[in-house]
Amino acid sequence: MMMNRRTFSAALVAGAGVSLISARGLAAIPAPVKARNVVLVHGLFADGSCWSEVIARLQAAGLNATAVQNPLTTLPEAIASAQRVLDRQDGPTVLVGHSFSGMIVTEAGVHPKVSALVYVAARAPDAGEDYTALAKTYLTPPASAGIVFDGDEGRLTEAAFLRDFAGDLPEAKAKVLYAVQEPFHRALLIGKTTQAAWRSKPSFYAVSTEDRTINPDLERFMAKRMGAKTIEVNSSHLSLISHPDEITRLILEASGQPG
């Protein structure tokens, strides 16, 4: 059963740097079906291991967690990789995406096993929407200037990664993450979603207030537009690593579990 607002707010107060904000249409969001499975998808400049802190907490809570190894090639191939993992789940499943993988969550979230969606500082386009055009209506975040290409493969420079992607992590930890970042293919960026699962599935959103990779005001807009249950985390883009307790609590709520 979904927590009521007062209970959920009290739980969040216990976690540093988090505040609950109201969302348009909150009362209309149905209570999510109880789920024991969670599928997590990573975005650009990362791999599935970026979910390790959250996975450990989900497992401790008795949930089955699986991280998708997003190929970062084209949007259809990335969506297919998530769908294959969803196919293997044995019942209702919460689908969670960080950053770019919000595109995948939005499309693959229509899968019949998906019971709820969680966006962590993530893109949340509407069906057929040009996300790049939408993003340009907000101030460009600093990380964009740090993307470099070797042919068709893109990545963040070390300076941009440490400052604009993982800015609230200890430098030594951020450097390890930089060393294992997966390059993405230029073709990935031109894909558009054809469906918007958040129009029919219970949705949750964690805004990173200090985000320098996606504009926090754009995150707030997308969360409000989908009527998501929304929290704000005083974090860089990598809240799933710097604030895993808060992100885990949001996922547990989406799964109908006590936080």
List of residues 6+ apart from 174 with CB closer than 8 A: 161, 162, 166
Q: Average pLDDT in the 177-199 region?
A: 96
Sign of the dihedral defined by the CA atoms of residues 39, 70, 212, 102, in that order: negative
- Choose the weakest-confidence range: 29-38, 60-69, 73-82, 238-247: 29-38
Average pLDDT, the chain: 90
Q: Average pLDDT in the 115-129 region?
A: 98
- The confidence score (pLDDT) of residue 259 equals 60
Q: Average pLDDT in the 136-145 region?
A: 97
CA 155 to chain centre: 19
- The confidence score (pLDDT) of residue 10 equals 35
Q: At residue 192, does pLDDT exceed 50? A: yes
Q: At residue 104, does pLDDT exceed 50? A: yes
Residue 175's pLDDT band, with cuts at 50, 70 and 90, is very high
CA 205 to chain centre: 8
Q: At residue 2, does pLDDT exceed 60? A: no
- Give per-residue burial for 9-45: e unless 16+ CB within 10 Å, then b: eebbeebebbebeebeeeeebeebbebbbbbbbbbbb
List of residues 6+ apart from 195 with CB closer than 8 A: 106, 107, 110, 127
* pTM as predicted: 0.89
Q: Average pLDDT in the 100-123 region?
A: 98
Q: Average pLDDT in the 142-164 region?
A: 97
- Summarised one tens digit per residue, pLDDT across range 7-35 is 333 333 334 344 444 344 444 556 789 99
Q: At residue 258, does pLDDT exceed 80? A: no
- The confidence score (pLDDT) of residue 12 equals 36
CATH fold label, 5-137+190-254: Rossmann fold (3.40.50)
- The confidence score (pLDDT) of residue 29 equals 55
Which sequence spans correspond to the domains of the chain? Answer: 5-137+190-254
DSSP label of 28: G
List of residues 6+ apart from 34 with CB closer than 8 A: 1, 92, 255, 256, 257
- The confidence score (pLDDT) of residue 71 equals 96
